[in-house]
């Protein structure tokens, strides 16, 4: 049985948007300030007539649950470089500290019971107004496979792909839903397209589309305790800036109109993000998931054989812009007519063997820097043994940090040398991360190219039912739920 074709002319009606924002980690130690910032940013972009709900962390106003990095002096920064954030369960002070949340509103906690309650309320409203669901926090792999990954909820519970699908299936049948999820392993939630959230399920008859920060097997960028928002390079920052023309610092942003229709759709914001996001993310959109499910392909060679000219002609304007933009970013090796084949070979060698970013294994320092780093660490550890002792208590470690901080501030020459070491370590770390970003761009290019080729195969197949379903899905993806109606 083939699922019904869903069309979306009702999206053109001036119905007000309903938005629910789910935010926060499963505990204070994983509730970084960047997550809170995402909630504040997206909420601030909502048009005034939008009805909104925010579920954040424990839902309280007086508990110190937001983790932030509190290194201000050179001594503190250098000590953190040498010794990290301290023993567990120390909560990291004085480097990682905690404060009360300042999200703009709190309508409840991000717990399993509250999430169930909000979906019961949405189902009971019987409303057909467009609904946007935004999730920012942490994600984890599924217990059995990557197809049923988890969005981590406060209190160390979780919302699985299948559980969220069950909630969505209770909503009014014609209510259009946009899901944006930016947590690690979020790509699995593309399975919301299918009944029960199961990859083998029938296509849902609900008008639903989704945008996800990364593929189901990989971690995502963004959960940082850094307080400087200008340094945030994650899916939320790029996608919503392109969609609304306003970045998280309130500055005017580029709004890509690749099809020249005078407006910016989510598909265009998604393409702009694919090109410009400086992170390890490999974003996923529901039409990618649709094509991989319903268009059979035997070998990758069926994709790598396509020429660059053929690929561009078959791509949508947004896909074409993303492919061209990524080619430019990737440089000369991604410029030839055989660039799809080149990209696949690069993908197989550097990404497919290990879905995790390579920098997770550490960084390489120049011999001189490594020697100075080791000497400084040894010297301070001898003077203040609790600094490097993972068995030290929280109080012992904090006391050692305070003593070492005072010691360094009284020795400006030694501190200046240590500052040079810190900067060299940071540069080496950036270099390692830059390679991860380049790998992610190759991965993005490969995924877009594959989606274009799969759609070509679908069109050649003459399967009118699937084509109409894809076109309806693409129409949903091309809307802008945050445009003023």
Surface-to-core class of residue 457, CB atoms within 10 Å of its CB (0-12 exposed, 13-18 middle, 19+ buried): middle
- Rounded Cα gap, residues 423 and 409, in angstroms: 18
The partner residues of 177 in beta bridges, in order of sequence, read: 131, 208
Structure pTM?
Answer: 0.92
Give pLDDT, residue 211: 98
Judge whether 103 and 56 are in contact, CB under 8 Å.
Answer: yes
Q: What is the pLDDT of residue 347?
A: 85
CA atoms within 13 Å, Cβ hemisphere of 14: 3
Token pair for 111: 């717990």
For residues 265 and 274, give the distance between their C-alpha atoms in angstroms, rounded to a whole number.
14
> How would you write the pLDDT of the chain (485 residues) with one tens digit per residue?
344 444 343 334 445 899 999 999 999 999 999 999 999 999 999 999 899 999 999 999 999 999 999 888 999 999 999 988 876 555 557 888 899 999 999 999 999 999 999 999 999 887 788 999 999 999 999 999 999 999 999 998 999 999 999 999 999 989 999 999 999 999 999 999 999 999 999 999 999 999 999 999 999 999 899 988 988 999 999 999 999 999 999 999 999 999 999 999 999 999 999 999 999 999 999 999 999 999 988 888 888 999 999 999 999 999 999 999 999 999 998 888 999 999 998 888 776 555 566 544 456 778 888 899 999 999 999 999 998 887 888 888 889 999 999 999 999 999 999 999 999 988 888 888 888 999 999 999 999 999 999 999 999 999 999 999 999 999 999 999 998 54
> Does 112 sit behind a cis peptide bond, omega within 30 degrees of 0 on the bond before it?
no
CA 356 to chain centre: 14
């Amino acid at each position: 049985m083939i699922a019904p074709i869903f069309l979306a002319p009702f999206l053109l009606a001036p119905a007000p948007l309903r938005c629910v924002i789910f935010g926060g980690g499963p505990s204070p130690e994983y509730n970084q300030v960047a997550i809170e910032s995402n909630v504040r940013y997206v909420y601030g972009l909502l048009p005034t007539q939008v009805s909104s709900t925010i579920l954040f962390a424990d839902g309280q106003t007086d508990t110190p649950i937001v983790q932030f990095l509190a290194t201000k002096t050179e001594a503190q920064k250098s000590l953190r470089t040498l010794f990290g954030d301290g023993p567990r369960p120390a909560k990291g002070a004085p480097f990682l500290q905690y404060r009360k949340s300042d999200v703009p509103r709190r309508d409840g906690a991000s717990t399993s019971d509250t999430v169930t309650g909000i979906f019961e309320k949405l189902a009971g409203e019987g409303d057909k107004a467009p609904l946007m669901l935004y999730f920012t926090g942490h994600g984890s792999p599924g217990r059995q496979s990557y197809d049923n990954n988890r969005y981590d909820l406060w209190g160390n519970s979780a919302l699985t792909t299948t559980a969220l699908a069950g909630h969505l299936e209770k909503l009014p049948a014609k209510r259009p839903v946009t899901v944006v999820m930016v947590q690690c392993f979020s790509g699995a939630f593309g399975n919301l397209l299918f009944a029960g959230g199961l990859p083998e399920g029938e296509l849902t008859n609900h008008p639903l589309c989704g945008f996800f920060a990364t593929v189901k097997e990989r971690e995502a960028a963004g959960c940082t305790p850094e307080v400087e928002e200008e340094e945030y390079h994650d899916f939320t920052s790029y996608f919503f800036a392109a969609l609304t023309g306003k970045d998280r610092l309130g500055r005017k942003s580029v709004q890509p109109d690749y099809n020249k229709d005078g407006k910016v759709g989510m598909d265009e914001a998604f393409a702009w993000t694919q090109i410009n996001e400086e992170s390890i993310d490999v974003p996923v959109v529901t039409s990618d998931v649709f094509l991989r499910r319903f268009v059979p392909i035997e070998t990758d060679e069926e994709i790598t054989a396509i020429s660059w000219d053929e690929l561009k002609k078959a791509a949508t304007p947004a896909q074409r812009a993303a492919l061209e933009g990524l080619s430019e970013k990737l440089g000369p090796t991604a410029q030839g007519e055989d660039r799809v084949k080149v990209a696949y070979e690069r993908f197989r060698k550097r990404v497919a063997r290990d879905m995790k970013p390579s920098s997770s294994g550490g960084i390489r320092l120049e011999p001189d820097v490594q020697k100075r780093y080791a000497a400084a660490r040894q010297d301070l550890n001898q003077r203040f043994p609790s600094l490097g002792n993972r068995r030290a208590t929280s109080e012992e470690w904090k006391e050692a940090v305070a003593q070492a901080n005072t010691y360094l501030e009284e020795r400006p020459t030694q501190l200046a040398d240590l500052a040079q070491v810190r900067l060299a370590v940071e540069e080496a770390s950036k270099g390692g991360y830059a390679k991860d970003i380049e790998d992610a761009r190759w991965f993005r290019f490969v995924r877009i190219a594959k989606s274009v080729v799969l759609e070509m195969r679908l069109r050649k197949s003459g399967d009118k039912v699937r084509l109409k379903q894809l076109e309806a899905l693409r129409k949903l993806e091309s809307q802008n739920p945050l445009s003023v109606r």
